[in-house]
Amino acid sequence: MIRRRQGHIVAISSVQGKISIPFRSAYAASKHATQAFFDCLRAEMEQYEIEVTVISPGHIHTNLSLNAITADGSRYGGEKRRVFLVFTLETGDPGKSWD
């Protein structure tokens, strides 16, 4: 990509890379790190005209809340539920069109 001066790197993260909720500290920390890494990579790749995009889906139907633990290490066991999928999309160009 660098040699050709073109390309597009896409990372799938989570909205928890932007906001955090209780009992998800390790997961949120990993997603914040993912977000920061790709934000830096975006700035570094700009000189090579390589785009970097981070897609951050919101809550989806998974077992994550069932497997979460509380502060004392006990299992949280939150309920499994369906929530509308919401996501953010970040690129280096705020005016970019995704037609």
The CATH H-level (homologous superfamily) assignment of domain 2-91 is: NAD(P)-binding Rossmann-like Domain (3.40.50.720)
Instruction: Report domain extents, the chain.
Output: 2-91
Question: Would you state the pLDDT for residue 73?
Answer: 77
- pTM listed for this prediction: 0.67
Could you give the angle at the alpha carbon of 71 between the alpha carbons of 19 and 32, nearest 5°? 25
Reported confidence tier of residue 66, pLDDT bands at 50, 70, 90: low
Can you spell out the DSSP letters for 85-98?
A: --EEEE-S-TT---
CA pseudo-torsion sign 34, 39, 12, 28? positive
Q: Tens digit of pLDDT for each residue in 4-63?
A: 999 999 999 888 888 887 777 888 899 999 999 999 999 999 999 999 999 888 776 666
pLDDT at 90 over 70: no
Query: What are the helix (H) ranges across 1-99?
Result: 25-45, 64-67
The residues carrying an active-site annotation are 27
Q: At 83, is the pLDDT very low, low, confident or very high (cuts 50, 70, 90)?
A: very low
